[in-house]
Structure 1
Amino acid sequence: MAKCHRNDVGSLILDHRHPTKNSTSGGHFRLWNSSLRRIIFDAVSCGGTSRYKYDDGDTSSISTTGRKEKHAENHKSEKKLSDLLNVEENETEASKRKEEELREVVKELEGEDWVRKRMAAKRVRIMAKEEGLEVRRTLAMLGVIPLLVGMLDHDNECVESQIASLYALLNLGIGNDANKAAIVKVGAVHKMLALIDSPDSSVCEAIVANFLGLSALDSNKPIIGSSGAIPVLVRTLQDLDNKHSTQAKQDALRALYNLSITPTNISFILETDLVSFLVNSTGDMEVSERTLSILSNLVSTPEGRKAISAVRDAIPIMMDVLSWTDSPQCQEKASYILMIMAHKSYGDRHTMIEAGIASSLLELTLFGTQLAQKRASRILECLRLDKGKQVSRRYRGNLGATVSAPICGSSSSFTKTEGRSVEDEDMMSEEKKAVKQLVQQSLQNNMRKIVKRANLRHDFVPSDRFTSFTSSLTSKSLAL
């Protein structure tokens, strides 16, 4: 690569400004001959591909080939620069045209002609959906959000205009938290709720879709939850009149999940019959994961745990989910709900034991995901410790009765005490045997389930070796 002759040029310019004795023509250096002009041009432009070679004081000849190549390169560079300038100019013109179009839409929304306002709202809906975040941001900066919210006033009887405005607001909030916050700030939530009883179900579905989008923002969750939107979403989810689409029900369920994340909204949720509906809907595989997610948020509060426990067969329903090997996410969420309930409530632990949860938990510790296995183990440990406390309390009660028995003599007293101690030990042994038998039976039932799922022959019976193995495993791992 050729080097820029900046030093040579600098020295020439310096000599021109400060003539010395060696300068020609009366102390003035002549810079305006053609060869020197070429040197200055190449030096200033840093001609990296230049093939010219300059010697000290020798600026004689430049080859014809070098000139052609240099000319071709200059022409190519000029073309690239021209293309870049054209692209920038085109982008600038397109940007100006787009801005003018957006301003025209805003102007139509500001007018009094409802037909033109409705058409403008439809244009906003399409542009916000198809033209990306920059257009949504620009429309919001131009003040389109308050204008669209104003079209939701109850005195506007044009349902088509309301629907156009609702979906325009919905698309403006996609991927833009500032727009979501602005929509709620200008009072859109209360105006939406005023339209919820519209005879046209499309209006209700558009409102539910907006609640889903707006509730995704954390700062909006408490505002929407306290506005009265939760009962509306619950009614849409239950759909007793069967007038809403499946999509509207899904949107309502997802919006309720978003709102249940905020603890202050749980009290509003418990004022409805949502908990009972969710527990009894758990068998529907299409919505079970979202349903269990909401219950997982509710069980984190004492009120939520109490509401879940109050639902009939809530624990057996959760236990059934533990065997859904084809839905590990549901297993994890159900095991979380049961783990919290077992940890916090003695009554729930007792219900779990009576329902025979040990078998399902043991199966989950073998075939569940790592998280489900950990939660199942914690539930088993909690139940085992609870059982141990029961036996310990019973043992202490019997021991107290022994000590407080009448003393008739030292030898007889010792004999009675010793005899009663043997009786207590026998009772303890019976308790241990009962626990071992329960766990062993659970292991064997679990084995039969595994055999059934493996499609083995129906007359398959666990061998004596397996029975002895489960017995030893029970005595080692669950000894009190």
Structure 2
Amino acid sequence: MEAAADNQSPSSSDVDVTPRGASSAVLRALQLIQYDDSDSKLQAAKEIRRLTKTSQRCRRLLAAAVIPLVSMLRVDSPQSHHESALLALLNLAVKDERNKMSIVEAGALDHVIRFLRSENINLQESATAALLTLSASISNKPIIGASGAIPLLVNILKHGTTQAKVDAVMALSNLSTYTDNLTVIIETDPVPSVVTLLKSSKRSSKTAEKCCSVIESMVGFDEGRTALAAEDGGILAVVEVLENGTRQAREHAVGALLTICEGDRCKYRELILKEGVIPGLLELTVQGTPKSQTKAQTLLRLLRETPYPRSEFQPDTLENIVCNIISQIDGDEQSSKAKKMLAEMVQVSMEQSLRHLQKRALVCTPTDL
């Protein structure tokens, strides 16, 4: 029966991809990818893509297919091969660090960059998705950054399809964690396009989180701060993520605003305050991640009239800092909302302190008294 099966091309309907049947399917795909005829290679690429869609085990077993799949991306290969091979490589790279590195080492990056320039929208989208996945590897970040891919990603962020834009900003977020890539990214002036994408996204989405991640990296440069402030609604969009984003997004948002204010407090303090940032900062001081809480408190200190303690008679408590800021806020609605948030913050803080004391009381021993 096995011999008979080997004489037929497998199809998505008759190949068993359960753990019991996966080995024969994998071996068949590895055989097909080595054949010289283009039809067999194309069938193999499609099978590898299917087998590796959800199976981590298959991604490991099919690692040997990386080099022949990369060879299918060459200019002299049939155009029909390009997207199938690229999508197969994309699936092989998902959650597999070794495959990510192997794909880049096999020379796939030059082909992916060529596809980013393609007028074929589907191929451009697939190439952007591939770069997103490959850029998650620490080892690949400097290689991708030096390859010329970053300006192309920013161009897609400006002119690509909606999905390509989302993948591009996520790839830039990955690449921005490698310090040497930051200069390359800021030179491409990505902030206006990132802000445009952020404003069109749900503030609680993963896209908004990655947009704020890139913005946080970019505002470390004067050009980035200037670009964000110049965008209509740019700072407001970051403030809205600070209020309604995921926990990680809020951390990036408060980090971005803090970096802006630290970069030039006199220039940006009023711009940040007028966007109604105080309620969100107050909430972060008690409900954010540990990093968010620290950054929110630091930013609140910078946003008050003077960043230095006022006197020993008016200690540098968070309540006093916020009261000082509230007194300077224009508009009854913003001031009222900030005061309400301050009261809630104090209440939550008191409740947390009470719970802490109760826990200590429960574990208290006679020697502690």
Q: TM-score, normalised by structure 1?
A: 0.55
| Paired position in structure 2 for 1:326 | 244
Is this contact kept in 2: 1:359–1:442, CA < 8 A? no
| Paired position in structure 1 for 2:102 | 182
| Paired position in structure 1 for 2:60 | 137
Please list the CA deviations of residues 114-143 of structure 1 after superposition, one character each: whole Å capped at 9, or x if unmatched: 11211111111111225x222221222xx3
Question: Does residue 165 of structure 2 align to residue 254 of structure 1?
Answer: no
| Paired position in structure 2 for 1:265 | 181
Is this contact kept in 2: 1:282–1:288, CA < 8 A? yes
| Paired position in structure 2 for 1:106 | 30
Question: Does residue 68 of structure 2 align to residue 151 of structure 1?
Answer: no
The one-letter code of the counterpart of 1:335 is V
Please list the CA deviations of residues 35-77 of structure 1 after superposition, one character each: whole Å capped at 9, or x if unmatched: xxxxxxxxxxxxxxxxxxxxxxxxxxxxxxxxxxxxxxxxxxx
What is the SS of the residue equivalent to 1:195? helix
The Cα of 1:163 is off from its aligned counterpart by: 1.0
Is this contact kept in 2: 1:315–1:351, CA < 8 A? no
The one-letter code of the counterpart of 2:217 is N
Question: Does residue 123 of structure 2 align to residue 203 of structure 1?
Answer: yes
Is this contact kept in 2: 1:209–1:251, CA < 8 A? yes
* Alignment CA distance shift 1:446-1:144 (3 Å): same
1:23-172 equivalent positions in 2, closer than 5 A:
99-130=23-54, 132-140=55-63, 143-156=64-77, 158-172=78-92
The Cα of 1:214 is off from its aligned counterpart by: 0.9
| Paired position in structure 1 for 2:256 | 337
| Paired position in structure 2 for 1:90 | none
Unpaired segments of 5 or more residues in structure 1? 1-93, 392-435, 455-480
The one-letter code of the counterpart of 1:120 is A
Unpaired segments of 5 or more residues in structure 2? 1-17, 311-322, 342-369
* Alignment CA distance shift 1:445-1:334 (3 Å): farther
| Paired position in structure 2 for 1:233 | 153
The one-letter code of the counterpart of 1:197 is R
The Cα of 1:358 is off from its aligned counterpart by: 7.4
Is this contact kept in 1: 2:115–2:124, CA < 8 A? yes
Matched residues, percent identical? 29
* Alignment CA distance shift 1:340-1:106 (3 Å): same
Question: Does residue 210 of structure 2 align to residue 290 of structure 1?
Answer: yes
Is this contact kept in 1: 2:282–2:296, CA < 8 A? no
Return 280-289 or 311-320, whichever deviates more.
311-320
- How big is the alpha-carbon RMSD for the aligned residues of Structure 1 and Structure 2? 3.6
* Alignment CA distance shift 1:367-1:231 (3 Å): same
CA distance in 2, matches of 1:282, 1:119: 40
Please list the CA deviations of residues 309-351 of structure 1 after superposition, one character each: whole Å capped at 9, or x if unmatched: 24443697325643563336455433221212222x3xx3112
What is the SS of the residue equivalent to 1:285? coil
CA distance in 2, matches of 1:290, 1:388: 33
CA distance in 1, matches of 2:84, 2:240: 46
What is the SS of the residue equivalent to 1:154? coil
Please list the CA deviations of residues 207-235 of structure 1 after superposition, one character each: whole Å capped at 9, or x if unmatched: 11111111111111111111111122212
CA distance in 2, matches of 1:254, 1:270: 16
* Alignment CA distance shift 1:192-1:281 (3 Å): closer
The Cα of 1:374 is off from its aligned counterpart by: 4.3
Q: Of the two structures, which has the highest relative contact order with CA contacts closer than 8 Å and spacing of 6 or more?
A: 2
CA distance in 2, matches of 1:129, 1:323: 36
* Alignment CA distance shift 1:373-1:121 (3 Å): closer
Is this contact kept in 2: 1:361–1:376, CA < 8 A? no
Question: Does residue 282 of structure 2 align to residue 382 of structure 1?
Answer: no
Is this contact kept in 2: 1:214–1:220, CA < 8 A? yes
* Alignment CA distance shift 1:128-1:358 (3 Å): closer
* Alignment CA distance shift 1:188-1:366 (3 Å): closer
Is this contact kept in 1: 2:254–2:296, CA < 8 A? yes
CA distance in 2, matches of 1:261, 1:295: 12
| Paired position in structure 2 for 1:308 | 225
* Alignment CA distance shift 1:388-1:368 (3 Å): closer
| Paired position in structure 2 for 1:89 | none
1:391-410 equivalent positions in 2, closer than 5 A:
none
What is the SS of the residue equivalent to 2:94? coil
* Alignment CA distance shift 1:174-1:444 (3 Å): closer
Q: TM-score, normalised by structure 2?
A: 0.70
The Cα of 1:176 is off from its aligned counterpart by: 1.5
The Cα of 1:181 is off from its aligned counterpart by: 0.9
1:216 to 124, 130, 136: 136
